[in-house]
Amino acid sequence: MTVINAEGLSGTQALGKRIADALHGTEVIAFFGGLGMGKTTLTRAIAEALGCSDDVSSPTFAIVNEYSARFKLYHFDMYRITSWDDLYSTGFFDYLDTGVLIIEWSENIENALPENTVRITILPGKTENDRIFEIEGLDL
Ligand SMILES: Nc1ncnc2c1ncn2[C@@H]1O[C@H](COP(=O)(O)OP(=O)(O)OP(=O)(O)O)[C@@H](O)[C@H]1O
Ligand SMILES: [Mg+2]
């Protein structure tokens, strides 16, 4: 596991670039961490570092947003997903291996995550603008 102390938004931005540079194109990245910890912010940083020029926002209502960058990016918000039927209806299983999947609220689909999922847990840091990122399953 790699532990990164991100100081401020620029720290999260830099981490996004580091993660983007380590990706091959079909990873599943599962975020863990409560409300407002920075899941969407880090997703935006990864997408930008991959050359995505679209606006990256939370897919709360759409459940999945699709972006074109160096790879296809599928950005999921599983906040409202509470059953296997719900999960099937998002197309989650069809998207696997076709691009990079980035998943907010992975807690809700933990049993469905592939074995080689990259797990990123976000914890509060020393100040309001600092975050601790625990990253498993990706060589940075
Ligand atoms: N170092 C930091 N990294 C990420 N976000 C930060 C940092 N410092 C402050 N913030 C702020 O924390 C908030 C994170 O919001 P964001 O929408 O990214 O979180 P989220 O985990 O996706 O929330 P939700 O649970 O609603 O999906 C933003 O307002 C952002 O500006
Ligand atoms: Mg979010």
User: What are the structural domain ranges in the chain?
Assistant: 2-126+131-135
Which pair of tokens denotes residue 75? 């950005």
* Helices marked H in the chain: 8-22, 39-49, 84-90, 92-95
Tell me the mean pLDDT in the region 75-96: 96
Which pair of tokens denotes residue 69? 């960058």
Alpha-carbon gap, residue 22 to 50, rounded angstroms: 11
pTM: 0.97
Kindly list the protein residues that place their beta carbon closer than 5 angstroms to ligand 2, a single-atom ion: 39-40, 58, 104
**What is the whole-number distance in angstroms between the Cα of residue 129 and the centre of ligand 1?**
9
Residue bearing the CA closest to ligand 1, atom 2? 9
Q: What does the pLDDT read at residue 122?
A: 98
Q: How confident is the model at residue 61 (pLDDT cuts 50, 70, 90)?
A: confident
Q: What does the pLDDT read at residue 23?
A: 98
Alpha-carbon gap, residue 130 to 6, rounded angstroms: 6
Tell me the mean pLDDT in the region 66-84: 95
Residue whose pair of structure tokens reads 């863990």 in the numeric block:
32
pLDDT exceeds cutoff 90 at 62: no
Residues with CB under 6 Å of ligand 1 are: 6, 8-9, 11-12, 35-41, 58, 104, 129-131
At the fourth CATH level, the homologous superfamily of domain 2-126+131-135 is P-loop containing nucleotide triphosphate hydrolases (3.40.50.300)
